[in-house]
Amino acid sequence: MGIQITDVRAITTNPYGCNLTVVRVDTNQPGLYGLGCATFTYRWKAVECMVNEYLKPLLVGRDPANIEELFQLMNVNSYWRNGPVTNNAISGVDMALWDIKGKLANMPVYDLLGGKCRQAVEVYRHADGPCPEKVEENVRKFMDEGVRHIRIQCGGYGGKAVDMNTPAGSPEGVYYCPDQYFRKTVELFAYMREHVGWEVEFCHDTHERLPAIQSVQLAKELEPFRLYFLEDILSPEQGEWFRMVRQNCTTPIANGELYNNPKEYDFLIKERLIDFIRCHISQIGGITPAKKLAVFAEVFGVRTAWHGPGDVSPVGHAANIHLDLSAPNFGIQEWCGFTDIAYEMFPGMPVLKNGFVWANDKPGLGIEFDEELAKKYPAVHDVTKWTQTRFPDGTMHTP
């Protein structure tokens, strides 16, 4: 009897303020197992159920070497597909299978993907603040650490609105004013170029906070400040508006963290309407579809900039880095930074040095997971509030 899958399980934890889901796939070969990321922070219980109650009975007894076969099997087994819960559950298994494959071959996953195109991965960091002066201070801290790509925001997504006239009795929520946010963002970039100069690359994330036509206007207004990219100016439902952005300016565009279905982004790549693909790897199903997406994007001159926030587990970040190392069309990698507890809970995770993230050369993804320590930081089941975004008059808006 050859190698077989003997167990598949989701493990949840919250070590630094984000609910994380790690999938472990065990085999009948002693000591041979794999780890993957299935983190859908805001619906973690649903992913946990999908992994434990549906994917485990589907996969036990099968050969873990057949990654493509198992990906296709998991993708179509529920008939309806390309949803965030299903994709994240599949991703956890898919990454774990690549981890197992690397351990069997005694090779890092980046070698299985074709080998290194670079020794380390350049990253961008996040600099926020209540005012441009504070943003500048935080930018200079990152520059002193060797970081040369920095995403700047003033007051978070949508900014901190003031003097809003909200109707009495309006529901609770995260209120902001698109017009104020628009003006403050343009002012922020003017200030930063004047005071910091042009030797640092700046990004900005609108997080779909503006109406579509105003997003076009923002891209045009920011053109003189030569952004590295402007991120997520339009939701997946409004992708056709990218044609108007291209007609009006040359501001580089990055998009994709909300995408689940390849049909949401294939035309954007084929028509060269975006410059960076920003997918959340677990959201699209793991390493297998991400590698295919990177190759597809390469043909059209689109670069990768995988989503790398705090609500991606360190296992998911490791997967990002292995993909980055092997992709000729790599652009930049988002890096949120981690607490000491993360490095303790996930030994072997990639490390940041002088603006670059380095993977180790261990087989597989090169990362471990301390389950006993994870138990001390249980996941939190509550109502998500930051996505309850509202216009000044109280209307709900896409976050």
Which active-site residues does the annotation give? 157, 207
Contacts of 379 (CB under 8 A, 6+ apart): 12, 13, 14, 19, 20, 21, 44
Closest CA to 313 of 95, 46, 62: 95
Tell me how many degrees the CA angle 7-36-1 measures, rounded to the nearest 5.
35
Residues 6+ away with beta carbon under 8 Å from 67: 94, 97, 98, 101, 288
Q: In angstroms, rounded to a whole number, what is the distance separating the alpha carbons of residues 323 and 286?
A: 11
Report residue 219 CA to chain centroid gap: 22
- State which amino acid sits at residue 301: G
C-alpha separations of 290 from 75, 259, 336, 342 in Å? 14, 12, 20, 25
Let me know if 140 is exposed, middle or buried by CB neighbors in 10 A (0-12, 13-18, 19+): middle
Residue 336's nearest CA partner among 12, 17, 11, 10 is 17
CB 376 within 8 A of CB 345: no
Please list, in sequence order, all residues whose beta carbon lies within 8 angstroms of the beta carbon of residue 69, skipping any fewer than 6 positions away. none
Q: Compute the distance between CA of residue 264 and CA of residue 254 in angstroms, rounded to an integer.
A: 14
Backbone angles phi, psi at 146, to 5 degrees: 95, 5
Residue 270: CB partners within 8 Å, gap ≥ 6?
Answer: 300
Asked if residue 125 lies in contact with residue 355, where contact means CB atoms within 8 angstroms, the answer is no
- Tell me the two tokens of residue 37: 């990321």
Rg of the chain in Å (alpha carbons): 21
Q: Is 225 exposed, middle or buried (0-12, 13-18, 19+ CB in 10 A)?
A: middle
From first CA to last CA, the distance across the chain in angstroms is 51
Q: How many whole angstroms separate alpha carbon 377 and alpha carbon 17? A: 10
